[in-house]
Structure 1
């Protein structure tokens, strides 16, 4: 075994700590944040100090405890990421593995260029400029490259298998890139001075590319699954609309037939009995006519009638103030998507309210200037937590649910509109604002 310091001038500990911190910062900026701005800045500053301290401590340990120093540095990076990013332990582990490999790559690349152009113990201003350009440029390039793998509003579920693969790539990359600094006699060790730096940088780059490709492939797979699930949900909503439309037509036809029957019944003899029976019959079908909403848009009428009936079976009161003509510019599928998913979510959430008097849903659709406003409200009486602008699903199969609100957001975006959800005095409020074509 040849000690590192006897073979080549190793990367300064403060430089390694800075590269690790910068790499962690890249993934913290790409991922949803757990902390607000001021606490986040404080946590990042504390993390930089901690990584510097850990690296200096690791540098003072004997070679036999080299692995302990790396474990401490890795633990500090993981803790910083977990503290700042809104994710679970496995998600933080995945980000840590990526940040660790990126940090090793940046530190190795900078030191390789430094030793080629400068070297030695003296830090001139040219050497400092090179350090700043290489580290800053590498971190910026990594951020731009990885941004494609971290699209807003889409998260990759990290299970044990994915985490194990990520950590394995990171571990193998680290071990292979540092073999030459432990021994120059191994079959995979470089034996020439500058060659050691080149091998380390190349292996770290290969590890970074492997992790990037793995996440990119996983992202494409998840998008394909999500698109399939969203299309399935759209088809289901449309089929429900068609069925409801047929049912509404049948009810209306039955309603008109009954009116003619009542008229004929009143013309029969024994007026007292006939009149009483006719009154009872008319009263029994009166609900059909009352429940047939007339908003000015037949698709909206059908969706509201269907969903109001579903809500009533669960003891939920629905109040509608809707001008359906406002959304005439939207096609059938878009209207079905918006009203179907919004009311399905509202009914599901409101049905869990313990107090029957508070099981309330309000629907309002109206024109405001040149915009159509669609507002769906349901009482839930709790605190609202948003993930990527949407509430997390409460269903057990979270991988195959939660697409309803995403479909509504897509419908709004298709018309250059906006979609927001928020809590307001115990009410969940979904609001769409869509420009009406001139």
Structure 2
């Protein structure tokens, strides 16, 4: 630490802070943002000076001290961002690592250009403008070309251990290469060549790290889209099967009505005649399973599920404002309500007491929030893991996909899904913000 100059530490602190600021540009701030930012900046620079003088005062801390300084300062920037901005843990890690790689890229790039263009004699004022320009333009370019697209396309939805590994590798490369450039000695020509090679290596490593950091979220998004496509294909097959079952139900009811009418025409007993009329009226109630909620996709799902409920003697009540679903994709409506109602029907149809075969659903819009509530009778206690019920079936991967899909759809629309089991009821509550222009 004794070889580390105070001005170099201050410069590094400003560079890293500028890069971090560019990475969180556009994110919503926390309450009392101005006060938080002022206090955070004061604490950040006080902490930077404290660890600088603290480590410098320790004996024999040359290499270890500088490594500790860089890591602690990196952690301080993450703390500052967490204090001031509304940001998830995944986004915080992503922003921090991208900022560190960007800072190292900017520094190494200016040094390489220095060696190539021989821009050594530009004076103090020229140096401030030259270096300052690169330290500002590089984070802006990285944000514009990478971070903005990743955030716009919502690619930071999945946790990925590779991101953590890459974060550690990026930090290691940036810190070690920086220290090698400054701590190695030798002849003047060797120093010149060593500086150039190390800085060029730093440029390549930083650029590669940034490319990988932006590729991993993109790969996650493509994998989710593939899973969703596979689910859509599976749902379409199930819809066709349900349609065939619905037609079988209708044909069977019509066949029964035909025979009941024939018997009614030959019947003279008034009591028996009334009994048959009641049976016919019950059979005709199948046509009551027609919904007009204002959303065609929702109407289709409700009609098919209502027919199944009639077949299995399940009491299904629904109050739905289908027009409130206009901002959702049609496939998402099919998948969301199809999966939710399938789980409910499958749960209650096993109940022997037919009076307890109950499913209730409400879809309402309050202010700019879509509220979806679904509950059904559930006698057996449900065990949850990571917010989702643990299936009792052996094929957990496929049978747990429906509720995972519901949670994925909720996250897609920046919403939240809550699943709970209380008082012999399984409850699904879903809140989706209705944003302008979506």
RMSD: 5.1
Answer whether contact 2:294 2:321 (CA < 8 A) is retained: no
Partner of 1:103: 103
3-state DSSP of counterpart to 1:181: helix
Question: Structure 2 CA distance, aligned partners of 1:42 and 1:347?
Answer: 52
Cα distance in 2 between the residues matched to 1:302 and 1:431: 24
1:27 lines up with 2:23 in the alignment: yes
In the TM superposition, residue 206 of structure 1 has moved relative to its aligned partner by: 1.8
Partner of 1:377: 372
| Closer, same or farther: CA 260–310 of 1 in aligned 2, 3 Å | closer
Q: Return the alpha-carbon distance in structure 1 between the equivalents of residues 137 and 180 of structure 2.
A: 27
State the match for 2:236 in structure 1: 238
Asked if structure 2 preserves the Cα contact closer than 8 Å seen for 1:316 and 1:360, the reply is yes
Aligned counterpart, 1:49: 45
Q: How does 1:30-429 map to 2 (within 5 A)?
A: 35-36=30-31, 37-38=33-34, 41-42=37-38, 45-46=41-42, 48-50=44-46, 52-54=48-50, 56-57=52-53, 60-61=56-57, 64-66=60-62, 67-82=64-79, 84-85=81-82, 86-88=87-89, 92-93=92-93, 95-110=95-110, 117=119, 124-147=124-147, 150-152=150-152, 153-155=154-156, 157-184=158-185, 192-272=190-270, 274-293=272-291, 301-308=299-306, 317-320=317-320, 335=330, 337-342=332-337, 344-345=339-340, 360-363=360-363, 377-378=372-373, 394=388, 403=405, 428-429=430-431
What is the CA–CA distance in structure 2 between the aligned matches of 1:75 and 1:83, rounded to whole Å?
12
Q: Distance in 2 between matches of 1:338 and 1:28?
A: 33
CA drift of 1:279 comes to: 3.5
Q: Judging changes above 3 Å, is the alpha-carbon distance between structure 1 residues 428 and 404 closer, same or farther for their aligned structure 2 residues?
A: closer
1:86-130 deviation per Cα after TM superposition (whole angstroms, max 9, x unaligned): 333x7755554443333233345557778965679xx84333323
Aligned residues of 1:293 and 1:304 also touching (Cα < 8 A):
yes
Partner residue in 1 for 2:423: none
Q: What's the CA shift for 1:227?
A: 1.6
Deviation at 1:278, TM superposition (A): 0.8
**Structure 2 gap segments, 5+ residues each:** 348-355, 376-385, 391-396, 418-427
The DSSP-based 3-state class of the residue aligned with 1:151 is helix
Residues 1:222 and 1:267: Cα distance change in structure 2 (over 3 Å): same
Q: 1:232 to 1:135 in 2, by over 3 A?
A: same
Distance 1:409 1:92 in 2: 18
Structure-1 separation of matches of 2:149 and 2:389:
26
The offset of 1:234, in angstroms, is: 1.4
Say which SS state the counterpart of residue 150 (structure 1) adopts: helix
Structure 1 distance, partners of 2:244, 2:401, is: 33
CA distance in 1, matches of 2:77, 2:402: 31
Q: Please, which moves more after superposition, 224-233 or 209-218?
A: 209-218
Query: Do the aligned partners of 2:361 and 2:374 also contact (CA within 8 Å) in 1?
Result: yes
Alpha-carbon distance, 1:65 to partner? 1.2
Equivalents in 2 of 1:344, 1:244: separation in Å? 13
- Residue 91 of structure 1 contacts residue 158 of structure 1 at CA under 8 Å; is this kept in 2? no
Q: Quick check: 229-238 or 242-251, which moved more?
A: 242-251
Partner of 2:14: 18
| Residue 81 of structure 1: how far off its partner (Å) | 1.8
Corresponding residue pairs, total: 387
User: Residues 65, 338 of structure 1: CA spacing in aligned structure 2 closer, same or farther, 3 A cutoff?
Assistant: same
TM-score calculated relative to the size of structure 1: 0.67
CA distance in 2, matches of 1:160, 1:15: 32
- The Cα of 1:77 is off from its aligned counterpart by 1.9
Distance 1:169 1:409, change over 3 A: closer
Query: How many angstroms apart in 1 are the aligned matches of 2:318 and 2:268?
Result: 42
Q: Distance in 2 between matches of 1:342 and 1:93?
A: 34
- The gaps in structure 1 that reach 5 residues or longer are 366-372, 381-391, 411-418
Q: TM-score, normalised by structure 2?
A: 0.67
Counterparts of 1:347 and 1:109, CA distance in 2: 57
Measured against aligned partners, the alpha-carbon deviations of 1:311-361 in whole angstroms (never above 9, x if no partner) come to 8988763114668xx99xx9xxx6454244146458879x99xxx9x9853
Aligned partners of 1:24, 1:238: CA distance in 2, in Å?
A: 45
